[in-house]
Amino acid sequence: MDGGAIIRQARERHGVSQRQLAVRAQTSQGYISQVERGDVSPSVEAVGRLLACLGERGRIESAPAPAL
């Protein structure tokens, strides 16, 4: 799942609008919208910061790639 989808799901789970999240994160509603639509690819740090503004935290996991 991409960062934008993670943010959108967390935001909706908490009943927070894009504008409310933008205020909490001290960014613009337009940026939140771009992230959620996949127009911009946020860094891992940015995703973590946005999740923290929603009272959540993320976790990165890795797994071996399937054999070709």
Radius of gyration over every alpha carbon of the chain, rounded to an integer in angstroms: 13
As a whole number of angstroms, the distance between CA 22 and CA 19 comes to: 5
> Which residues make Cβ contacts (< 8 Å) with residue 45, sequence separation at least 6?
none
Structure confidence at residue 1 (pLDDT): 73
Q: Is pLDDT above 90 for 68?
A: no
Q: Report the predicted TM-score, pTM, of the whole model to 2 decimal places.
A: 0.84
The identity of residue 16, as a single letter, is: V
Domains and CATH numbers, the chain: 3-53 (1.10.260.40)
Structure-block tokens of residue 46: 């940015």
Structure confidence at residue 58 (pLDDT): 84
Structure confidence at residue 10 (pLDDT): 97
Q: What is the mean pLDDT of residues 16-27?
A: 98
The identity of residue 23, as a single letter, is: V
